[in-house]
Chain A
């Protein structure tokens, strides 16, 4: 069973702090990794994709991938109350296009 694991949280950080979200996956053949944000009752909204080991930065967001450890993370710098949402880690294997999602980590940014 190919799985994606995330801490469900809630993760609470003060406004302006760095939020760190983590994800592990079981399929060593996975090729593509995505972070989505989901507000309550809404659909997943893409934040970032990452395909190679290392860091990828986009504005306040940095995704980190370590394929040897089967680990993906998302850092949110200068967290804002509007960042409060559930963050979904999604992994695509090397065959087919389906995404396997983690349970999601609920982030709460306190003013």
Chain B
């Protein structure tokens, strides 16, 4: 069964450093998403991506965040200068074209900012 994959599973970084989180969505999916979940809190939407551009972003997704689909398979989330409060689980998700809008989540990357 196709699944979303994410690397790395755990990333530890120093405050102020740049990190890139990687995702490989399900191959025939066209919509891609990043969510985050701070420990003990809700899953929060960050950004959605379709047709090689951002289709929607949340208030959390400020100038320090960016997304890219550098090739036909990978989807990345870059955090330019990490802060302590960026420590969270980051989930990538993908879905087929509408109306099949069910989003399937990857296993997540746990980001720890020291």
Contacts and interface: CB of A to CB of B under 8 A. Distances in A.
Q: Do A and B come from one complex?
A: yes
Contacts of A69: none
Nearest to B41: A103
Given A97-B95, A98-B56, A98-B58, A46 B44 contact: no
The CB with the most chain B CB atoms within 10 A, among A44, A45, A92, is that of A44
B12 interface: no
A97 B56 contact: yes
A19 to B, nearest CB: 21
A88 B104 CA distance: 14
Nearest to B98: A97
A49 B102 contact: yes
A88 B43 contact: yes
Q: In terms of DSSP, what is the predominant structure of the interface of chain B? A: strand
Interface string B9-52: 00000000000000000000001010100000111110010100
B105 interface: yes
B106 A43 contact: yes
B21 to A, nearest CB: 13
Interface of B: 31, 33, 35, 41-45, 48, 50, 55-56, 58, 89, 91, 95, 101-108
Given A98-B33, A100-B45, 4 more contacts: A43-B105, A90-B43, A98-B56, A101-B42
Interface of A: 32, 34, 36, 42-46, 49, 88, 90, 92, 96-104
